[in-house]
């Protein structure tokens, strides 16, 4: 079985560096996709209230041969539930849908600078409650920029364990990554394949040919060697297995540099400074 490295978060908890993403997986396809991933050796599943598939993720884990403690589960707060009471209710809903009494990691999905009076601090304090209660083993944020992380740092008690942001070879996010390294916040790279956008790139294709790996495997390996956490999404069984098969080769320092140099600050998803989550 593939051996996936763990990363130790700033609160001492560990997270498998590689997992399975479930954005845009229809609820009716989720059971099969997550089961295929667990069978292939994935032990970390990333979902969210807004993906509408938490119940099916929970069911796939429950029906597997694995104990709850063997699978790292992340979910995220709905953009429509940032007020503290709504957030408490939404968190209850997440636990109920997943059929579990704790999540390994719970995130504020988006900072939403144009809603809730721009007050993500009250939302973060509510996540701190879930952490103190032990119902979220770690808490973190998603799509936060350094100025927003700095505000949390100054005004709240707990430093986010992770910042989950869009990262791929066309969007290397050097500024956020530097801030997070300095403050011991792990980076989770969402859309690690740029939703497929980067896979035709000639530089990536040529490294794939030389190493005998696929473009997707080369890109995922680049993330792993940079130290980020990744969870590519696929519903195709062969691709689910292909994506985890990246722990038997290494990219050279020159390969890493060449891929990093492809950056063009190109987003595939929302811009966190503008996105209102609707
Ligand atoms: P991704 O970069 O993982 O790309 C997925 C797409 O790439 C698939 O739909 C498929 O078209 C293609 N693909 C996958 N494996 C392939 C392979 N081996 N060969 C060729 N093509 C392949 O994109 P994503 O799903 O957007 O991101 C991954 C996960 O990150 C999500 O599922 C979700 O869990 C998380 N995410 C979080 C946020 C956030 O705001 N926090 C936003 C987007 C995604």
- 6-187, CATH topology level: TIM Barrel (3.20.20)
- Within 8 A by CB and 6+ apart from 135, the residues are 91, 95, 101, 102, 103
How confident is the model at residue 69, as a pLDDT? 98
Q: Is the pTM above the cut of 0.95?
A: yes
Instruction: Output the six-digit token pair for 187.
Output: 């980076």
Edge to edge, what strands does the sheet with 186-190 contain?
Answer: 20-21, 44-46, 72-77, 103-108, 136-142, 162-166, 186-190, 229-230
pLDDT along the chain (278 residues), means of 10: 89 98 98 98 98 98 98 98 98 98 98 95 98 98 97 96 98 98 97 97 98 98 98 98 98 98 97 93
Are 30 and 60 in contact by the 8 Å Cβ rule? The answer is yes
Q: What are the boundaries of each domain within the chain?
A: 6-187
DSSP alpha helix (H) spans, 133-194: 146-155, 174-182
State yes or no: is 116 an active-site residue. Answer: no
Listed residue (229, 164, 219) closest to 194, CA to CA: 219
Gap between the Cα atoms of 13 and 6, Å rounded = 10
Ligand 1, atom 24, lies closest to the CA of 191
DSSP alpha helix (H) spans, 41-145: 54-63, 84-98, 120-132
Q: Ligand 1 in contact with 198 (CB < 6 A)?
A: no
How confident is the model at residue 278, as a pLDDT? 85
How confident is the model at residue 1, as a pLDDT? 52
Are 71 and 44 in contact by the 8 Å Cβ rule? The answer is yes
Task: Indicate the top mutation candidate among 30, 234, 267 to test ligand 1's pocket, ranked by most ligand atoms within 8 A of CB.
Answer: 234
Q: Ligand 1 in contact with 195 (CB < 6 A)?
A: yes
Q: Ligand 1 in contact with 111 (CB < 6 A)?
A: no
């Amino acid at each position: 079985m593939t051996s996936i490295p763990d990363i130790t978060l700033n609160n001492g908890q560990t997270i498998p560096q590689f997992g399975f993403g479930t954005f845009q997986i229809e609820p009716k396809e989720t059971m099969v996709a997550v089961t295929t991933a667990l069978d292939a050796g994935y032990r970390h599943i990333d979902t969210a209230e807004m993906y509408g598939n938490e119940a099916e993720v929970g069911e796939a884990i429950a029906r597997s041969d694995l104990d709850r403690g063997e699978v790292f589960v992340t979910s995220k707060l709905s953009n429509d539930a940032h007020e503290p009471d709504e957030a408490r209710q939404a968190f209850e809903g997440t636990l109920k849908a997943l059929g579990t009494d704790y999540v390994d990691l719970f995130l504020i999905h988006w900072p939403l600078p144009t809603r809730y009076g721009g007050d993500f601090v009250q939302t973060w304090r509510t996540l701190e409650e879930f952490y103190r209660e032990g119902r979220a083993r770690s808490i973190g944020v998603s799509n936060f920029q350094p100025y927003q992380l700095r505000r949390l740092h100054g005004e709240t008690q707990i430093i986010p364990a992770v910042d989950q942001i869009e990262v791929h070879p066309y969007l290397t996010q050097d500024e956020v990554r530097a801030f997070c390294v300095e403050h011991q916040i792990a980076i989770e790279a969402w859309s690690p394949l740029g939703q497929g956008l980067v896979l035709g790139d000639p530089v990536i294709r040529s490294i794939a040919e030389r190493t005998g790996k696929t473009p997707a495997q080369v890109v995922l390996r680049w993330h792993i060697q940079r130290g980020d956490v990744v969870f590519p999404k696929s519903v195709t069984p062969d691709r689910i297995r292909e994506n985890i098969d990246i722990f038997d080769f290494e990219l050279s320092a020159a390969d890493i540099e060449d891929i990093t140099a492809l950056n063009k600050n190109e987003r595939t998803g929302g811009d966190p400074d503008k996105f209102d989550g609707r």
